[in-house]
């Protein structure tokens, strides 16, 4: 008790005259009684990672704010370790001092999971960006957690391999963050989720102990698969410091088709046809609706390469034999056109045109940011239901919303539903939520397919998970991080924080 | 204390005049002080599952003995629930009574994980064999845990889908057991591990609570992925009662090539060539050595379809376009023959011949059982090392072993090393172990790639897992099964039992 009082007292002295930070826009629970960082703490950190303890307000501003500029923390300390040992020492110290820590990768998350809420210390993986090993026989890559996804892709390209995941934020996101959030993205249809491709992890636990599960084996059935706990746990159970991942061979041929459909039903028929005829070379089946195209035209001046349609599809094939792949693609397109499932379309085999077609899908998020304040939902549903939610939401909101758009990963049953308004609008939000979550729960969907829960969605977990499951998550959190110092206020609902 | 004494007393009365069961051949820890089944317990079980509480010694004999006849338990009660609710009531009761339970699927495991060690109650999933749902758009199958793998394959065949896993024991093994042991098998190279294809699980916890994680979604990032804890935990954390699994489309064409190589180096070169040229249609790359062929000839009268060689490869392709697949395969074979990587070979496209070629790989296990007492090792290693272990072991054992053979899944870096002797031979065993484990650990391999740890390998876990990892496994066990009633003496080492 004396210790606690002492810490509070010291904190008051340190922050005398300062205003108490306003809680972040998304209602967060009350600040928990973590210690505040003292000059003695700073001295300790400076000893461990000299020159890499940042207190410059400008740098901190960028690290406190999320990519969407929708949530903001008030951290005054950013730490940039380079090694696992440094992370271990930092966490061991923070745990003993009851200092909260917000781990941060590329800070490209969409649910407020990657920034502090109050004054948590930001622990960045930015300087942990070494490739540790690549085995060109097995395709197994080992690297530190702070490697940028695109850098890894470029590194592998020379070696005739690719990363098993790809996503819009690839230029900034860190592989450690990808794993911590179980990122999905554009290649999941083909190469499966990170739960299958991540072979090993090194994780520093809340108390600083280093958990070495950094296997480089495709198969290992010796006990429980602990690394799975950390995949998708959003930094709340440990800090991932290194990753081993199984990389597929670089395909010898890539083709992209951009097609238009009259209805979502036709789009689904096209998907079925495509899975049958393209089979093992199908590597993406993505869609966007007419509203998305309108935003791409208006805000990014991107032209529609085909006739105006209610729905657009991006199909990618990748395979080992260019002639075979083109033949399969052409047979499929002929069938799709003949049966009138598809109205119009264009195909690309050259890299520049492939990129241009992909950008119509990849830059929807960016176009939305120009349209106004965006309410983002990332929903998993049985594939035949995914667009019904957009239609119902449009009808439900009427002219209260500026735009209601749907796009996403048809192949994975994953809809990105986005709703914009000229400015932030609590009344609009009240019309969207819990409507969207109730709708999703009615069809046994997931209220977060790939974005995670972070700060913003934590309290909606019960729409997708049974109470017993959530209670067990709480037990796991207590087991691995008894003081709750790791990424507080995230993932778990308030009743378990 | 009085309660404990009472239970012991009652037990003595029940078993008066009986011999204390001899511990199973593989040294097990002392019997833990679980209660023994009383007539009152039997009355309770009979009320819950009337007519499905088996005490017939003949039926129990089969359930007490593992498939290899290498370990034997002494259970006197076999329960056959049909529903999750029944499993829940049984476990809730057993937990309150401190009765140990050994969950059992098809009892085809190879590490003594599927049979009791002492007098644990056997809880069989044999009558939980209903298919719950199949969605022919998404390919997602939901079924009870006791469905036999082959029955599921046959069911899906009509619907133009296949199971993502296939293994020698398919005619007997249950899908629940496959998931509980994270079975690998012959299709892992193509469709990945169960960690990616299993989408949902229903699990009854030790205290009878039903954990519903039975999602039918490809993506779901709402909190920690609890189902992963149960995949590969060998029934020690909960009893899997239902599974949802993502099934791939049935390929339109399947081809199998059976090839011979002069050296393991050539075999590896062939693997690399094959991955490049067959790419996405490669669905298996398996091998067996000359010694395996000798056993197939001798004990099963299976003829070698090609010239005698030190190494044999089974390559399977499966794809969506028969013409393209054959073209790819022939181009590859031409290249492999021209460059002398392969000495001789034969190709099959018809089902009967495909089966015949596959049986050369699949029936090695059976041939071994006729050769003598078999010591089985299931090792993961960097692929370039896998045969070196066989060579080193042969040299190490000299003429003390009858046969030392190697076969397995080259594509997954998974060697099955088997050593036979005319009869059980403790001296031979002492020469094999810990040699084999030390060798594996030296090259960062796994001492159990796909078979699990069960009873036989539990104490060797430290060769492949760090102490901290094993300690955390112990914590998870305590969290989910505080009395330790579920499959005791398995998976975790004795110091954590």
| Cβ–Cβ below 8 Å for B224 and A213 | no
Q: Clarify whether residues B136 and B123 are in a common domain.
A: no
Residue B29 has a pLDDT of 86
Contacts of B214 in chain A (CB under 8 A): none
Q: Clarify whether residues A288 and A240 are in a common domain.
A: no
Interface A–B counts its CB contacts (< 8 A) at 271
Dump pLDDT digits (tens) for B150-182: 999 999 999 999 999 999 899 999 999 999 999
Residue B15 has a pLDDT of 35
**Nearest CA distance, A130 vs chain B (angstrom):** 21
**Nearest CA distance, B284 vs chain A (angstrom):** 14
pLDDT at B470 over 50: yes
CA nearest neighbour of B312 among B410, B232, B228, B233: B410
Residue B118 has a pLDDT of 97
Please, is A182 exposed, middle or buried when counting C-beta atoms within 10 Å of its C-beta (0-12, 13-18, 19+)? Answer: buried
Contacts of A319 in chain B (CB under 8 A): 279-280
Contacts of A136 in chain B (CB under 8 A): none
Residue A22 has a pLDDT of 38
The whole domain housing B392 covers 372-451
Q: Clarify whether residues B240 and B310 are in a common domain.
A: no
Contacts of A272 in chain B (CB under 8 A): 137
CATH of the domain at A284: 3.30.70.2190
Contacts of B135 in chain A (CB under 8 A): 382
Q: Clarify whether residues A268 and A359 are in a common domain.
A: yes
Q: Which of B214, B228, B280 to mutate to test the interface with A (most CBs of A within 10 A)?
A: B280
> Per the domain annotation, does B435 fall within a domain?
yes
pLDDT band at B12 (very low <50, low <70, confident <90, very high): very low
Contacts of B451 in chain A (CB under 8 A): 221
**Nearest CA distance, A26 vs chain B (angstrom):** 18
| Cβ–Cβ below 8 Å for B279 and A252 | yes
Averaged pLDDT, B401-408: 98
| Cβ–Cβ below 8 Å for A222 and B446 | yes
DSSP B182-234: T---TTHHHH--HHHHEEEEEEE-TTS-EEEE----S---SS--THHHHTTST
| Cβ–Cβ below 8 Å for B188 and A461 | no
**Nearest CA distance, B299 vs chain A (angstrom):** 30
Q: Clarify whether residues A28 and A82 are in a common domain.
A: yes
Q: Clarify whether residues A7 and A120 are in a common domain.
A: yes
Q: Could you tell me if A239 and A123 are in contact, meaning their C-beta atoms sit under 8 angstroms apart?
A: yes
| Cβ–Cβ below 8 Å for A446 and B414 | no
| Cβ–Cβ below 8 Å for A279 and B381 | no
Chain center to CA of B474: 22
> Per the domain annotation, does A60 fall within a domain?
yes
> Per the domain annotation, does A461 fall within a domain?
no
Q: Clarify whether residues A106 and A165 are in a common domain.
A: no
Q: How far apart are CA A261 and CA A259, in angstroms?
A: 7
**Nearest CA distance, B230 vs chain A (angstrom):** 8
> Per the domain annotation, does B304 fall within a domain?
yes
Residue A16 has a pLDDT of 34
Contacts of A447 in chain B (CB under 8 A): 222
% of chain B exceeding 90 in pLDDT: 91
Which residue in chain B has the smallest CA separation from A233?
B224
CATH of the domain at A437: 3.30.70.2740
Contacts of B491 in chain A (CB under 8 A): 223-224
Residue A422 has a pLDDT of 96
| Cβ–Cβ below 8 Å for B228 and A223 | no
> Per the domain annotation, does A43 fall within a domain?
yes
pLDDT band at B287 (very low <50, low <70, confident <90, very high): very high
Contacts of B220 in chain A (CB under 8 A): 380, 446, 448-449, 464
Domain end marker among B316, B331, B364: B364
pLDDT band at B26 (very low <50, low <70, confident <90, very high): low
The single residue listed with the structure tokens 């480089």 is A216
> Per the domain annotation, does B70 fall within a domain?
yes
Contacts of B184 in chain A (CB under 8 A): 219, 221
Q: How far apart are CA B347 and CA B327, in angstroms?
A: 13
Contacts of A218 in chain B (CB under 8 A): 188, 193, 380, 412-414
Query: Which letter, b or e, does each residue of B412-438 get, where b requires 16 or more Cβ atoms within 10 Å of its Cβ?
Result: bbbbbbbbbbeeebeebeebbeeebbe
DSSP B84-110: HHHHHHHHHHHHHHT--EEEESS---S
Considering its fold, how many domains does chain B have in total?
Answer: 4
Q: What does each of the 497 residues of chain A score in pLDDT, given as a tens digit?
A: 333 333 332 222 223 333 333 333 457 789 999 999 999 999 999 999 999 999 999 999 999 999 988 899 999 999 999 999 999 999 999 999 999 999 999 999 999 999 999 999 999 999 999 999 999 888 999 999 999 999 999 999 999 999 999 998 999 999 999 999 999 988 899 999 999 999 999 999 999 999 999 999 999 999 999 999 999 999 999 999 999 999 999 999 999 999 999 999 999 999 999 999 999 999 999 999 999 999 999 999 999 999 999 999 999 999 999 999 999 999 999 999 999 899 999 999 999 999 999 999 999 999 999 999 999 999 999 999 999 999 999 999 999 999 999 999 998 999 999 999 999 999 999 999 999 999 999 999 999 999 999 999 999 999 999 999 999 999 999 999 999 999 999 999 999 98
| Cβ–Cβ below 8 Å for A138 and B383 | yes
Residue A160 has a pLDDT of 95
Neighbouring CB atoms inside 10 A of B225's CB total 21
Dump pLDDT digits (tens) for B77-133: 999 999 999 999 999 999 999 999 999 999 999 999 999 999 999 999 999 999 999
% of chain B exceeding 70 in pLDDT: 95
Q: Clarify whether residues B69 and B85 are in a common domain.
A: yes
Residue B13 has a pLDDT of 29
pLDDT at B18 over 70: no
Contacts of A449 in chain B (CB under 8 A): 217, 219-221
Q: How far apart are CA B270 and CA B285, in angstroms?
A: 10
Question: Of A221, A224, A249, which has the smallest distance from its Cβ to B476's Cβ?
Answer: A224
**Nearest CA distance, A145 vs chain B (angstrom):** 20
> Per the domain annotation, does A282 fall within a domain?
yes
Q: How far apart are CA B375 and CA B429, in angstroms?
A: 8
Q: What is the ipTM of this complex?
A: 0.92
Residue A2 has a pLDDT of 33
CA torsion, ordered B323, B326, B331, B336, to nearest 10 deg: 170
CATH of the domain at B192: 3.30.465.10
Q: Clarify whether residues A307 and A360 are in a common domain.
A: yes
B236: CB partners within 8 A, 6+ apart: B477, B481, B486, B487, B490, B491, B492
Query: Which letter, b or e, does each residue of B172-199 get, where b requires 16 or more Cβ atoms within 10 Å of its Cβ?
Result: ebbbbbbbbbbbbbbbbbbbbbbbbbbb
SS3 B257: strand
> Per the domain annotation, does A225 fall within a domain?
yes
pLDDT at B412 over 50: yes
Domain end marker among A342, A364, A386: A364
Q: Residue A363 has which token pair?
A: 């830059």
**Nearest CA distance, A56 vs chain B (angstrom):** 34
| Cβ–Cβ below 8 Å for B450 and A221 | yes
Domain end marker among A195, A228, A246: A246
Residue A26 has a pLDDT of 52
Averaged pLDDT, B278-307: 97
Which residue in chain A has the smallest CA separation from B185?
A219
Q: How far apart are CA B317 and CA B319, in angstroms?
A: 7
Which residue in chain A has the smallest CA separation from B478?
A479
| Cβ–Cβ below 8 Å for A327 and B324 | yes
Q: Clarify whether residues B211 and B325 are in a common domain.
A: no
| Cβ–Cβ below 8 Å for B219 and A414 | yes
> Would you report the helix, strand and coil content of chain B in percent, each value rounded to 5?
40, 20, 40
| Cβ–Cβ below 8 Å for B328 and A320 | yes
Residue B256 has a pLDDT of 98
| Cβ–Cβ below 8 Å for B446 and A277 | no
Residue A463 has a pLDDT of 96
Q: Clarify whether residues B355 and B380 are in a common domain.
A: no
Q: Clarify whether residues A280 and A336 are in a common domain.
A: yes
| Cβ–Cβ below 8 Å for B468 and A212 | yes
């Amino acid at each position: 008790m004396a210790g606690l009082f002492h810490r509070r007292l010291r904190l008051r002295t340190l922050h005398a005259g300062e205003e108490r930070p306003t809680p972040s826009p998304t209602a967060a629970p009350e600040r928990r009684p973590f210690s505040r960082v003292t000059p003695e703490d700073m001295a300790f950190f400076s000893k461990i990672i000299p020159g890499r303890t940042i207190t410059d307000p400008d740098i901190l501003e960028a690290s406190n704010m999320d990519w969407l500029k929708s949530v903001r923390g008030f951290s005054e300390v950013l730490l940039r370790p380079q090694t696992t040992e440094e992370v271990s020492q930092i966490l061991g110290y923070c745990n003993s001092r009851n200092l909260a820590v917000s781990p941060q990768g590329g800070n490209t998350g969409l649910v407020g999971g990657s920034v502090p809420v109050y004054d948590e210390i930001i622990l960045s993986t930015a300087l942990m960006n070494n490739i540790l090993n690549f085995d060109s026989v097995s395709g197994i890559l080992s690297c530190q957690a702070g490697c940028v996804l695109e850098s890894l892709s470029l590194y592998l390209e020379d070696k005739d391999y690719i990363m098993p995941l790809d996503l819009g934020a690839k230029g900034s996101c860190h592989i450690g963050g990808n794993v911590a959030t179980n990122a999905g993205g554009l290649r999941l249809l083909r190469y499966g989720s990170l739960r299958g491709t991540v072979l090993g992890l090194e994780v520093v636990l809340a108390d600083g102990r280093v958990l070495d599960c950094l296997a480089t084996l495709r198969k290992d059935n010796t006990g429980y698969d602990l690394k799975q706990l950390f995949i998708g746990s959003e930094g709340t159970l440990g800090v991932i410091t290194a990753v081993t991942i199984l990389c597929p061979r670089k395909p010898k041929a890539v083709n992209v088709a951009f097609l238009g459909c009259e209805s979502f039903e036709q789009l689904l028929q096209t998907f079925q046809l495509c899975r049958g005829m393209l089979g093992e070379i199908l590597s993406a089946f993505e869609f966007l609706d007419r509203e998305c195209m309108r935003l791409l035209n208006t805000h990014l001046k991107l032209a529609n390469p085909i006739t105006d349609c209610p729905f657009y599809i991006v199909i990618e094939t990748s395979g080992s034999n260019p002639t075979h792949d083109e033949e399969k693609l052409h047979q499929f397109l002929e069938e799709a056109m003949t049966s009138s499932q598809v109205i119009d379309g264009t195909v690309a085999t050259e890299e520049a045109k492939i990129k241009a077609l992909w950008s119509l899908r990849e830059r929807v998020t960016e176009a939305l940011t120009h349209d106004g304040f965006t309410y983002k939902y990332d929903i998993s549903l049985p594939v035949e239901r995914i667009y019904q939610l957009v239609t119902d939401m449009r009808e439900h909101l009427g002219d209260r919303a500026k735009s209601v758009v749907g796009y996403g990963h048809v192949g994975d049953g994953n809809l990105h539903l986005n709703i914009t308004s000229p400015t932030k609008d609590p009344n609009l939000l009240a019309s969207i939520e819990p409507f969207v979550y109730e709708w999703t729960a009615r069809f046994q969907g997931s209220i977060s397919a790939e974005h995670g829960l972070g700060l913003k969605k934590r309290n909606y977990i019960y729409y997708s998970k049974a109470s017993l499951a959530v209670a067990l998550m709480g037990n796991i959190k207590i087991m691995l991080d008894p003081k709750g110092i790791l990424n507080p206020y995230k993932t778990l609902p308030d009743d378990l924080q």
